[in-house]
């Protein structure tokens, strides 16, 4: 996949792994759309990167917000070619304990962001990539979804994150 002169969407791109991904893609010559809820960090990172970087405020669980970010990335010459979903949240709480059962709304919110939000970005970015003309190797784009080892390790208190 050619990164130089490609348009990339980085969901959760305003901090952590997402910001590192946005910096790396930008450094390799990509036009980067940073999609995140964190307005201050997103605007600052886009400003730091300068040309070929833009921030779009987006909640990955909101279809219209993600569609707007995808449209921003797809509007560049050549269309959206790279989607990296790094958006995620965590919450540490045991399934049950002295305070009672794990809060169901907290569990649902973590799953909504980390699982459903990731799928939302994936489905909308992949649909936009279907419109691209095939590149040199016949590819139309690449989607990368990130996670952590917590999904495999079953760490204490990480039931929602691991799910």
For 143, list phi and psi in degrees, rounded to 5: -115, 130
Exactly one of 13, 26, 85, 161 is catalytic; which is it?
161
Tally the C-alpha atoms within 13 A of residue 6's C-alpha that lie toward its C-beta. 28
Task: Count other C-beta atoms under 10 Å from residue 141's C-beta.
Answer: 25
What is the bridge-based pairing of β-strands 80-85 and 7-11? parallel
Q: Is 138 helix (H, G, I), strand (E, B) or coil?
A: coil
Distance CA 84, CA 97 (A): 36
Q: Are strands 96-97 and 100-101 parallel, antiparallel or unpaired?
A: antiparallel
Whole-number Å distance between alpha carbons of 27 and 34: 14
Q: Which residues contact 97 (CB under 8 A, 6 or more apart)?
A: none
Active site residue 152: no
Residues with a catalytic annotation lie at: 161
């Amino acid at each position: 996949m050619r990164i130089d002169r490609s348009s990339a969407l980085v969901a959760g791109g305003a901090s952590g792994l997402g910001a590192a991904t946005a910096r790396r893609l930008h450094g390799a010559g990509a036009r980067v759309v940073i999609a995140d809820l964190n307005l201050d960090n997103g605007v600052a990172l886009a400003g730091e990167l300068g040309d070929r970087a833009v921030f779009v405020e987006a909640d990955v669980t909101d279809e219209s917000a993600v569609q707007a970010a995808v449209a921003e990335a797809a509007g560049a010459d050549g269309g959206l070619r790279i989607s990296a979903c790094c958006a995620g949240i965590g919450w540490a709480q045991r399934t049950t304990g002295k305070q009672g059962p794990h809060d169901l709304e907290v569990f649902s919110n973590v799953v909504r962001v980390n699982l459903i939000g990731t799928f939302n970005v994936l489905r909308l970015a992949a649909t936009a990539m279907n419109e691209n003309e095939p590149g040199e190797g016949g590819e139309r784009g690449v989607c990368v979804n990130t996670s952590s080892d917590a999904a495999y390790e079953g760490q204490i208190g990480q039931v929602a994150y691991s799910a």
